[in-house]
């Protein structure tokens, strides 16, 4: 039983503590990691490199951000009305 719990804890991936966002409200952390992921994807595509390092930002923002926000941001990027600087 204890080994099963240890295995589950090893596999569990969530956002680690980020000293830039020490408060309970993690909205800015969510926003910043979403932007960092998009920037990383764009930079790697421009270089023709593998975008695997960007997956860290992806896991963090998926852990922190509500799905409805991400969907709205993705739609806004497609329409060209996204407010963030990528």
Query: How do the pLDDT tens digits run along the chain, 86 residues long?
Result: 556 656 665 665 678 888 899 989 999 999 999 999 999 999 999 999 888 888 889 989 999 999 999 999 999 999 999 999 98
pLDDT, position 18: 86
Q: Is 44 inside a domain boundary?
A: yes
Q: How many domains does the chain have?
A: 1
Query: What pLDDT shows up at residue 79?
Result: 96
Structural domain contains residue 48:
yes
CA angle 41, 9, 11 (to 5 degrees): 40
Query: What integer pLDDT is reported at residue 38 of this predicted model?
Result: 96
State the CATH number of the domain containing residue 74: 1.10.10.140
Environment class of 67 (CB within 10 Å of its CB; exposed 0-12, middle 13-18, buried 19+):
exposed
Q: Is residue 70 part of a domain?
A: yes
> Is 38 contained in some domain?
yes
């Amino acid at each position: 039983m204890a080994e099963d719990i240890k295995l589950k804890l090893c596999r569990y991936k969530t956002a680690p503590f980020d000293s830039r966002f020490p408060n309970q409200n993690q909205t800015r952390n969510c926003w910043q990691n979403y932007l960092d992921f998009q920037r990383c994807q764009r930079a790697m595509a421009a270089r023709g490199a593998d975008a695997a390092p960007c997956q860290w930002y992806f896991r963090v923002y998926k852990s922190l951000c509500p799905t409805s926000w991400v969907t709205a941001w993705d739609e806004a990027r497609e329409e060209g009305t996204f407010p963030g600087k990528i």
